[in-house]
Structure 1
Amino acid sequence: MDLKYDYLIVGSGLFGCVFAHEAYKKGKKCLVIDKRSHIGGNIYCENVEGINVHKYGAHIFHTNDREIWDYVNSFVEFNRFTNAPIANYNGKLYNLPFNMNTFYQLWGVKTPDEAKAKIDEQIKDLNITNPQNLEEQALSLVGVDVYEKLIKGYTEKQWGRKATELPAFIIKRLPVRFTFDNNYFKDKYQGIPIGGYNKLIDGLLDGIEVKTEVDFFKEKAYFESIADKIVFTGKIDEYYNFQFGKLAYRSLEFKTEVKDTANYQGNAVVNYTDRETPFTRIIEHKHFEFGTQEKTVITREYPQEWDESKEPYYPVNDAINSEMFRKYKALADNEKDIIFGGRLAEYKYYDMHQVIGSALKKAKSI
Structure 2
Amino acid sequence: MYTFYQMWGVTQPEEARRIIESQRREAVMENPANLEEQAICLVGRDVYATLIKGYTEKQWGRACTELPASIIKRLPVRFTFDNNYFNDRYQGIPVGGYNVLIKGLLDGIEWRTGCNYLDDRAYFDGLADEIVYTGPIDEYFGWSLGFLEYRSLRFEQEMLPVSNYQGNAIVNYTERTVPYTRIVEHKHFEPGNGAVLSLPYTVVTREYPADYTPGSEAYYPVDNKRNRDLHAAYQDMGRCNVPHTWFAGRLGSYKYVDMGQAISSALKLSKALL
Same fold (TM over 0.5): yes
Contact 2:71 2:223 in 1 (8 A): no
Letter in 2 for 1:196: G
Q: Deviations over 1:145-193 (max 9, x none)?
A: 1111111000001111100111111111322111211111000111122
Match of 1:303 in 2: 209
Question: Among 119, 130, 137, which residue is 2:31 paired with?
Answer: 130
Counting matched residue pairs gives 267
| Structure with the bigger percentage of helix | 2
Is 1:340 the counterpart of 2:253? The answer is: no
Q: Equivalents in 1 of 2:100, 2:262: separation in Å?
A: 18
**2:224 maps to what in 1?**
318
What is the Cα deviation at residue 105 of structure 1? 0.5
Q: TM-score, normalised by structure 2?
A: 0.93
The corresponding residue for 2:156 is: 255
Distance 1:174 1:265 in 2: 24
Provide the aligned C-alpha RMSD in A.
Answer: 1.5
Offset from partner CA, 1:54-93 (integer Å, 9 cap, x none): xxxxxxxxxxxxxxxxxxxxxxxxxxxxxxxxxxxxxxxx
- The TM-score normalised by the length of structure 1 is 0.70
Q: Aligned to 1:182, what secondary structure does the other structure show?
A: coil
Deviation digits for residues 110-132 of structure 1, max 9, x if unmatched?
Answer: 21221122223333332222211
Matched, 1:272 2:178: no
Residue segments in structure 2 that go unaligned for 5+ positions in a row: 192-196
Q: 1:245 aligned to 139, 146, 155, which one?
A: 146
Larger strand percent: 1
Corresponding residue for 1:328?
Answer: 234
* Shift, 1:365, TM fit: 2.1
Residues 233-272 of structure 1 deviation map (CA, whole Å, 9 limit, x = unaligned): 1111111111110111111111111111000011111111
Call closer, same or farther: CA 1:128–1:337 in 2, change over 3 Å. closer
Per-residue CA distance 1:179-219 (angstroms, 9 max, x = gap): 21111100011112221111100001001111111112222
Identity %: 57
Q: Which moved more, 1:249-258 or 1:349-358?
A: 349-358
| One-letter code aligned to 1:140 | C
- Alpha-carbon separation, structure 1, partners of 2:108 and 2:174: 45
- Indicate the residue corresponding to 1:181 in structure 2: 82
Q: Is 1:213 the counterpart of 2:114 in the alignment?
A: yes
Please state whether the residue corresponding to 1:234 is helix, strand or coil: coil
Give the drift of 1:309.
2.8
Note closer, same or farther for the CA distance 1:343–1:102 as it changes in structure 2 (3 Å cut).
Answer: same
Contact kept? 2:52, 2:174, Cα under 8 Å:
yes
Q: How far apart in 1 are the matches of 2:219 and 2:266?
A: 19
1:344 CA displacement: 0.9
For 1:285 and 1:234, how far apart are their aligned partners in 2?
27
